[in-house]
């Protein structure tokens, strides 16, 4: 078992989330920084979709039994990063808040073995699915040894200074003025304090609408840049609802979504556009 000694700002169990349930209203959820989760799992020999701990601004954990772990994502002092680490029974590790970035991942060989809900062990903070957010004193079971070996190497540093997120315009770019489309990719956007796993609220120049009628509810995906009437975009996170009534001006690609996972309130970003699918 793993005991939560201190939970930091928000600690949850996350895998790659719930699939094919959007049609009954279930969000994807899952790790916000999917690249970091996959890396942590690979380092300890887990399948990519094993459940790990997503820690926000540090965490402290005590391991009852000997364990092999890997920590990735926002780099914290207190343990070797991006590499498999073997811990003796009874070890406590303390990940201090990272200097940059927001979310860190702790994978344990065998995975976190809380009961799956709707095919996933992920905590969805909006829909109340999966294990409740972790609190000091919670104890998490570890699953059986996976067949794959531990990787005896250190992954190249994943600390990224990238702050330009690649987006594909649409589906509702035609609801905005052409000036607004330019503004989206030329302005600097600041992450607001009211940001979480449901969405990152951004501050910057208002994106002006060309069509001002109300939009009938549309399906959404994590990464969509939804624009409410105040003109300031919200980047939908993993726990965002599956439908929304505000027009989506553009969608952030997978790599940009992982970068977004690491943004803190006050961080500045920009968007660059790439061509999308469709006709």
Partner 1 sequence: MRVLPYGKRAVLIEVDDSATALQLHIDLRDEPGVIDCVPAARTVLVRYEERTDLARLAARAAEVLAQEHTPMPVGEPVTLNVRYDGADLASTAEELGMGVDDLVERHTAAEYVVGFCGFSPGFAYLTGLDPRLHIPRLASPRTSVPAGSVAIAGEYTGVYPRRSPGGWRLLGTTDAIVWDVTRADPALLTPGTVVRFRAA
Please report, as ranges, the residues that interact with partner 1 according to CB under 8 A. 19-26, 117-118, 126-129, 168-172, 216-221, 223-224, 241-243, 248, 251-254, 274, 276-279
Give the per-residue SS3 of the chain.
CEEEEECCCEEEEECCCCCCCHHHCCCCCCCCCHHHHHHHHHHCCCCCCCCEEEEECCEEEEECCCEEEEEEECCCCCCCCCEEEEECCCCEEEECCCCCCCEEEEEECCCECCCCECCECCCECCCCECCCCCCCCCEECECCCCCCCCCCCECCCCCCCCCEEEEEECCCHHHECHHHHHHHHHCCEEECCCCCCCEEEEECCCCCECCCCCCCCEECCCCEEECCCCCCCEEECCCCCCEECCCEEEEECHHHHHHHHCCCCCCEEEEEEECCCCC
- Nearest distance from C-beta of residue 103 to partner 1, angstroms: 21
Q: Identify which of residues 85 and 221 has a Cβ nearer to partner 1 in the complex.
A: 221
**Tokens representing 157?**
């540093």
Q: Identify which of residues 24 and 88 has a Cβ nearer to partner 1 in the complex.
A: 24
Q: Identify which of residues 58 and 223 has a Cβ nearer to partner 1 in the complex.
A: 223
- Nearest distance from C-beta of residue 72 to partner 1, angstroms: 24
- Nearest distance from C-beta of residue 43 to partner 1, angstroms: 26
- Nearest distance from C-beta of residue 126 to partner 1, angstroms: 8
Q: Identify which of residues 149 and 219 has a Cβ nearer to partner 1 in the complex.
A: 219
- Nearest distance from C-beta of residue 245 to partner 1, angstroms: 9
Report residue 99 CA to chain centroid gap. Answer: 18
Q: Identify which of residues 76 and 248 has a Cβ nearer to partner 1 in the complex.
A: 248
Q: What's the CA gap between 85 and 68, in Å, rounded?
A: 6
Q: Identify which of residues 156 and 213 has a Cβ nearer to partner 1 in the complex.
A: 213
Angle, CA 249 vertex, CA 246 and CA 255 arms, to 5°: 115
- Nearest distance from C-beta of residue 70 to partner 1, angstroms: 28
Q: Identify which of residues 171 and 205 has a Cβ nearer to partner 1 in the complex.
A: 171
- Nearest distance from C-beta of residue 73 to partner 1, angstroms: 23
């Amino acid at each position: 078992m793993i005991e939560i000694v201190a939970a930091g700002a928000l600690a949850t169990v996350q895998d790659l989330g719930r699939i094919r349930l959007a049609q009954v209203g279930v969000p994807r959820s899952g790790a916000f920084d999917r690249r970091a989760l996959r890396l942590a799992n690979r380092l300890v020999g887990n399948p990519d979709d094993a459940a790990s701990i997503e820690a926000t601004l540090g965490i402290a954990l005590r391991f009852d039994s000997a364990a092999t772990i890997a920590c990735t994502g926002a780099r914290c002092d207190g343990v070797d990063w991006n590499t498999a680490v073997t811990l003796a029974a009874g070890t406590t590790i303390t990940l201090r808040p990272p200097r940059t970035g927001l979310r860190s991942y702790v994978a344990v060989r065998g995975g976190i073995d809380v009961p799956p809900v709707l095919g996933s062990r992920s905590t969805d903070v909006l829909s109340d699915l999966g294990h409740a957010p972790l609190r000091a004193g919670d104890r998490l079971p570890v699953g059986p040894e996976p067949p794959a070996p531990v990787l005896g190497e250190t992954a190249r540093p994943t600390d990224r200074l990238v702050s330009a997120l690649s987006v594909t315009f649409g589906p509702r770019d035609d609801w905005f003025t052409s000036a607004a489309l330019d503004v989206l990719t030329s302005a600097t956007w600041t992450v607001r304090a009211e940001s979480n796993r449901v969405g990152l609220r951004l501050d910057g120049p208002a994106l002006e609408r060309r069509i001002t009628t109300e939009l009938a509810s549309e399906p959404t995906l994590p990464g969509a840049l939804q624009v409410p009437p105040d003109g300031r975009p919200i980047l939908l996170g993993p726990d965002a609802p599956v439908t929304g009534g505000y027009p989506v001006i553009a969608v952030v690609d997978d790599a940009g979504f992982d970068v977004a996972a690491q943004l803190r309130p006050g961080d500045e970003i920009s968007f660059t556009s790439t061509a999308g699918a469709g006709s």
